[in-house]
A and B are shown apart, each in its own frame.
Chain A
Amino acid sequence: MARKSVLTFFILAFAFAGLDAQEASMGALGPPPAAPSNVKAPDKPNDTGHGLLVKWDLSRDDGAGLDNVLAYEVWRSDAADGEYTKRGVAVKGTSEYDDTDDSERVNDEPNPDFIVTGKTYYYKVRAMAGGTAYSDFSEPGSGQAVENWYHKGKTPIMIGVIIFWAFVVYFIFKARQGQEFYVRPLAGINAVDDAIGRATEMGRPILFVLGTGTAGDIATIAGFTILSRVAKLTAEYQTPVLVPVNDPVIMAVAQETVRTAYLEAGRPELYKPENISYETAMQFPYVAAVNGIMLREKTATNFYMGIFHAESLILAETGNIAGSIQISGTDQISQLPFFIAATDYTLIGEELYAASAYLSKEPVQVGTLKAQDWAKAVLMAVLLAGAVLISLAIPFLKNLVDVNL
């Protein structure tokens, strides 16, 4: 990553509070370096319109000539012959300075450094040598900040989204045409039927935990889609499913999900909204409450699907004490080891997102899995190609994926 980001970093802004010419007085005065020239201040791209990119040609004594340039100082004014104030410093060898300030007010006072969109600003640059030796100021250059309507740096991301979207739509289309796709069996999915059947035989409820994320987290949404399939099966088996939650929006969505599933299974009369219950807010109080449910309701099967943090192992071990069959799935890498160790089946990362397609068995859903596989193949090819190219010192692909926001 080094090369490109270092270069871009030189373009980045920095302002040194307290770095002042007089303060830096030191040592003997050498001959002053030549002034930088050709100052320009074009708009800084990809921003909200409060930044200018000051550019100049290096001093003749930067890396050559007297070779005594240490840094450049960038000064700004509202008028070409107005009063200039220092904006910041750029180290030697750098010919760009990012002057950005988008706070209109600071501490409820108007901010004098604020860059107004469309207003013309003038810049002068001078070189600074060791000691207090300064070059003359360059001729002023000017420019205006413009509000940008497209972030060019994000183009690779857009291409990525479009390609993946196209894969998904294409395979949905294929599935609608009647094409069937093979998917390999997943142990965690195959176990779902048995686990629900076991609860039915034992006459005990099923527990479905959606994790400690919010309803807007995609892993929780994946949890909803799995809950929907599981609830449909439980409705057919007439086994109650308990969904204790710690977020009210999750509660509302889970209620709709389960109700729909019961309707689709033709058993709307079995649906009890109070089984999807708000236990409490906050991670550990919620976990304590779920622990209580496991031990007191003696749930036969526990599902953990969504975002989990440290509570993963608390839940899984308590479930173990209660003797429940446990199926887990999360996208949290730090918690996967504990689910793997302490539950019977674990859906790892992407498998969590694939589970609803597996359980629904609908061709359209399975089609999206095919799209994911194609995207993965492309990803692997790009990754390998990029690694080969960079080994040959061709950074083309690497630069392409190295998105700088």
Chain B
Amino acid sequence: MTIWDRIMNLDRRWIYLCIAVVVIIPAVVSFKVPVATTPEVKKVFDFVDKMQPGECFYLGIDYDPSALAELDPMTYAILNQAFSKDLKVIIGCLSQFGVGMAETRLAEMSAKYGKKSGEDYCFLGYRPYPAICILTMGVDFRVTFPLDYYGVPLDSLPVMNGIKNLMDVKGVVDITAGNVADFWITYGNGRFGFPVALGVTGVMSADYYQYLQSGQIFGLISGIKGAAEYEELSGFETTGMESIPYQTLSHAVILLFIIISNVGYFATRGRKGK
């Protein structure tokens, strides 16, 4: 019995043990593992990064607490990046559970940079019927949201000066765990053609790569890995990077075992051939 035979008939419990080890170690000792950044996340980062101070974009916060772990780091990182660069942000919610969360996150980040509602950003609040909201915001923000979340008329907000509709902002980044993403693609990009990027959960991501390929969205941040990438790019970390050691190590273990398995397979097959 050669070493290869042993490898080919490896007791599965060794594999279990390796997985257990790489999952338990990061839980006990915290350390960092670099994350490979992807072009689709880099494009979202560059989009925000290349804007000049005073320029404006729309940020959609459309997720509820169930998707918080995956999507929250994205919101924090993008808001941090925008505020630190003195960009103007219009924040809106088209899914009803997003609004309360959006408010607290906004309050936290604006306090950090001393940003003022109405001057540096505009929080629109929530309206139902996402498709029609996107269509009307494409015509005029004031049709959809005559007042902002705090009850102030949009026209009296300095930040909205010269910004009539979605055509006047540089683009849209929507962070969502639901079908609001589809509405942004169909109505936002499809009807008005303004640039849309999405932040979605890992489960959803496989279905949205097709829109990346077809150019209907210019960027895609998917799941906790996408969130970690954004944190790495922007250098602002909350919780996105935390899960990366587990994931990277366990993926590495599985990949390693696949390689060993194939080396073993070819080694034993070659010998049997003789």
**Do A and B associate with each other?**
yes
Closest A residue by C-beta to B140: A70
| A92 pairs with B155, CB closer than 8 A | no
Which residues in B have their C-beta under 8 angstroms from that of A111? none
| B139 pairs with A14, CB closer than 8 A | no
Which residues from 178 to 198 on chain A have a C-beta closer than 8 Å to any C-beta of chain B? Answer: none
| B131 pairs with A12, CB closer than 8 A | yes
| B153 pairs with A23, CB closer than 8 A | yes
| B129 pairs with A1, CB closer than 8 A | no
A71 to B139, CA, bound (A): 9
Q: Tell me whether A6 and B146 are in contact in the complex, defined as CB-CB below 8 angstroms, given that A70-B139, A91-B135 are known contacts.
A: no
Q: A9 near B: Cβ within 8 Å?
A: yes
Q: A2, A17, A92: which has the most chain B beta carbons within 10 Å?
A: A2
Q: A332 near B: Cβ within 8 Å?
A: no
Which residues in A have their C-beta under 8 angstroms from that of B129? 14-15
Which residues from 118 to 150 on chain A have a C-beta closer than 8 Å to any C-beta of chain B? Answer: 130
User: Distance in Å from the Cβ of A282 to the closest Cβ of chain B?
Assistant: 20
Q: B12 near A: Cβ within 8 Å?
A: yes
User: Distance in Å from the Cβ of B266 to the closest Cβ of chain A?
Assistant: 19
The one of B139, B144, B191 that contacts A2, using a Cβ cutoff of 8 Å: B191
User: Distance in Å from the Cβ of B127 to the closest Cβ of chain A?
Assistant: 7
| A5 pairs with B186, CB closer than 8 A | yes
User: Distance in Å from the Cβ of B231 to the closest Cβ of chain A?
Assistant: 29
Closest B residue by C-beta to A93: B139
Which residues in B have their C-beta under 8 angstroms from that of A14? 129, 132
Q: Tell me whether A9 and B131 are in contact in the complex, defined as CB-CB below 8 angstroms, given that A26-B154, A71-B136, A89-B143 are known contacts.
A: yes
A23 to B151, CA, bound (A): 10
| A9 pairs with B132, CB closer than 8 A | yes
| A70 pairs with B143, CB closer than 8 A | yes
| B147 pairs with A18, CB closer than 8 A | yes
Q: B246 near A: Cβ within 8 Å?
A: no
Q: B142 near A: Cβ within 8 Å?
A: yes
Q: B187 near A: Cβ within 8 Å?
A: yes
| B132 pairs with A24, CB closer than 8 A | no
| B139 pairs with A6, CB closer than 8 A | no
A15 to B153, CA, bound (A): 19
Closest A residue by C-beta to B191: A6
Cβ contacts B127-164/A at 8 Å (1 or 0 each): 11101100110011011101100000111100000000
A284 to B147, CA, bound (A): 49
| B153 pairs with A25, CB closer than 8 A | yes
Which residues in B have their C-beta under 8 angstroms from that of A64? none
A92 to B138, CA, bound (A): 11
The one of B12, B136, B144, B186 that contacts A321, using a Cβ cutoff of 8 Å: B12
Q: B235 near A: Cβ within 8 Å?
A: no
| B154 pairs with A1, CB closer than 8 A | no
User: Distance in Å from the Cβ of A89 to the closest Cβ of chain B?
Assistant: 7
Which residues in A have their C-beta under 8 angstroms from that of B127? 16-17
| B186 pairs with A71, CB closer than 8 A | no
User: Distance in Å from the Cβ of A22 to the closest Cβ of chain B?
Assistant: 9
Cβ contacts A75-102/B at 8 Å (1 or 0 each): 0000000000000010110000000000
Which residues in A have their C-beta under 8 angstroms from that of B153? 23-26
Q: A216 near B: Cβ within 8 Å?
A: no
Interface size class of B (residues with CB under 8 A): 20 to 34
Which residues in B have their C-beta under 8 angstroms from that of A26? 142, 146, 153-156
| B155 pairs with A20, CB closer than 8 A | no
Q: Tell me whether A24 and B186 are in contact in the complex, defined as CB-CB below 8 angstroms, given that A12-B131, A321-B12 are known contacts.
A: no
A6 to B131, CA, bound (A): 9
The one of A6, A10, A27 that contacts B190, using a Cβ cutoff of 8 Å: A6
Q: A19 near B: Cβ within 8 Å?
A: yes
Which residues in A have their C-beta under 8 angstroms from that of B144? 16, 19
Q: Tell me whether A9 and B187 are in contact in the complex, defined as CB-CB below 8 angstroms, given that A26-B142, A321-B12 are known contacts.
A: yes
A14 to B135, CA, bound (A): 11
Which residues in B have their C-beta under 8 angstroms from that of A70? 139-140, 142-143
| A92 pairs with B191, CB closer than 8 A | no
A1 to B128, CA, bound (A): 23
| A92 pairs with B139, CB closer than 8 A | yes
User: Distance in Å from the Cβ of B152 to the closest Cβ of chain A?
Assistant: 11
A25 to B131, CA, bound (A): 25
A16 to B147, CA, bound (A): 12
Which residues in B have their C-beta under 8 angstroms from that of A130? 140
A6 to B193, CA, bound (A): 13
User: Distance in Å from the Cβ of B258 to the closest Cβ of chain A?
Assistant: 11
| B186 pairs with A6, CB closer than 8 A | yes
Which residues from 1 to 57 on chain A have a C-beta closer than 8 Å to any C-beta of chain B? Answer: 1-2, 5-6, 9-10, 12, 14-20, 23-27
Closest B residue by C-beta to A94: B135
A89 to B127, CA, bound (A): 13
Which residues in A have their C-beta under 8 angstroms from that of B135? 9-10, 91
Which residues in A have their C-beta under 8 angstroms from that of B146? 18-20, 23-24, 26
Closest B residue by C-beta to A20: B146
A2 to B185, CA, bound (A): 9
Which residues from 174 to 211 on chain B have a C-beta closer than 8 Å to any C-beta of chain A? Answer: 186-187, 190-191
A19 to B125, CA, bound (A): 13
Which residues in A have their C-beta under 8 angstroms from that of B128? 17
A24 to B145, CA, bound (A): 9
Which residues in A have their C-beta under 8 angstroms from that of B12? 321
Q: Tell me whether A91 and B131 are in contact in the complex, defined as CB-CB below 8 angstroms, given that A2-B186, A25-B153, A27-B155 are known contacts.
A: no
User: Distance in Å from the Cβ of B122 to the closest Cβ of chain A?
Assistant: 14
Which residues in A have their C-beta under 8 angstroms from that of B156? 26
A298 to B135, CA, bound (A): 62
User: Distance in Å from the Cβ of B146 to the closest Cβ of chain A?
Assistant: 4
Q: A1, A9, A15, A17: which has the most chain B beta carbons within 10 Å?
A: A9
A153 to B136, CA, bound (A): 27
Can you give 6 contacting A-B residue pairs, CB < 8 Å?
Answer: A2-B186, A2-B190, A18-B147, A26-B146, A89-B143, A91-B139
What 8 A-B pairs come out closest when comparing CB atoms? A26-B155, A2-B190, A14-B132, A24-B146, A14-B129, A23-B146, A91-B136, A91-B139
Q: Which residues of A contact B (CB under 8 A)?
A: 1-2, 5-6, 9-10, 12, 14-20, 23-27, 70-71, 89, 91-92, 130, 321
Known contacts A15-B129, A70-B142; can you find 6 more A-B pairs with CB under 8 A? Answer: A5-B186, A6-B186, A12-B132, A17-B128, A19-B146, A70-B143
